[in-house]
Amino acid sequence: MAPGGFMIQVFAFQFFLLGLGLVLARWAGLDPVSACRWGPGAIAMGIAGGTGMGLVALRVTAHPVFRDLERLINRQVAPLFADLSWQDLLAIAAMAGASEEVLFRGMLQPWLAGVLPGGEWTAIAAAATLFGLCHALSPAYFLFAFALGAIFGWSAMATENLAVPIILHAAYDAVVLLDMTGKKTEDGN
């Protein structure tokens, strides 16, 4: 598939997730847009935390225990993104961070906190489980995505600011996508 066609599919899917999250949030009486406060602290926390999480993930998946996961990513995921520019990868990371966090942490997690016994911690675990299942290419990938979802969920709860997990997620995805494809920015970084 040509890179342009793949980008259209990725963005169409991510816009669908964003729309789904916003519609469901409205139905549930939630407002994820007003839960975002884009101040310098939230932006710095998201970029630093997400970049750090991405770098840790790269080290962890290089461990022999995760060799099968690394092979799976290299065989099934990396080829999808191989022909895209680093700018395309950053755009995908930003869109995935926004759309998936609006759905999982902006709508699902607060709604679950109101309907499940155990409140916010149960909601974090439930939303992280669903997040993991949506990313489950293998049992190891599920566990990895569950852990990321739990961190994103905790950050939303701890900061009471949806912008933080959005930026965490986007920065994490950017690091992983750029590394997975071997892309460098124009200045070599």
Q: State the Cα–Cα distance between residues 101 and 178, nearest whole angstrom.
A: 21
Helices marked H in the chain — which ranges?
3-27, 40-61, 67-72, 78-81, 86-101, 109-115, 119-134, 139-159, 163-181
**pLDDT over 80 at 50, yes or no:** yes
What pLDDT, in 10s, does the model give residues 96-137?
999 999 999 999 999 999 999 999 999 999 999 999 999 988
> Quick one: pLDDT at residue 133?
97
Phi, psi angle pair for 104, to nearest 5°: -80, -45
Is the model's pTM score more than 0.85?
yes
Block residue for tokens 């309907």: 115
> Quick one: pLDDT at residue 15?
96
Contact 25, 107 (CB under 8 A): yes
Contact 137, 76 (CB under 8 A): yes
Q: Which of 17, 28, 55, 42 is nearest to 155 (CA)?
A: 42
Q: State the Cα–Cα distance between residues 9 and 95, nearest whole angstrom.
A: 12
> Quick one: pLDDT at residue 68?
84
Average pLDDT, the chain: 92
What pLDDT, in 10s, does the model give residues 149-183?
999 999 999 999 999 999 999 999 999 999 988 86
Classified as helix, coil or strand, 2 is: coil
Contacts of 136 (CB under 8 A, 6+ apart): 142, 145
What pLDDT, in 10s, does the model give residues 2-36?
668 899 999 999 999 999 999 999 999 999 999 99
Block residue for tokens 């991405």: 54
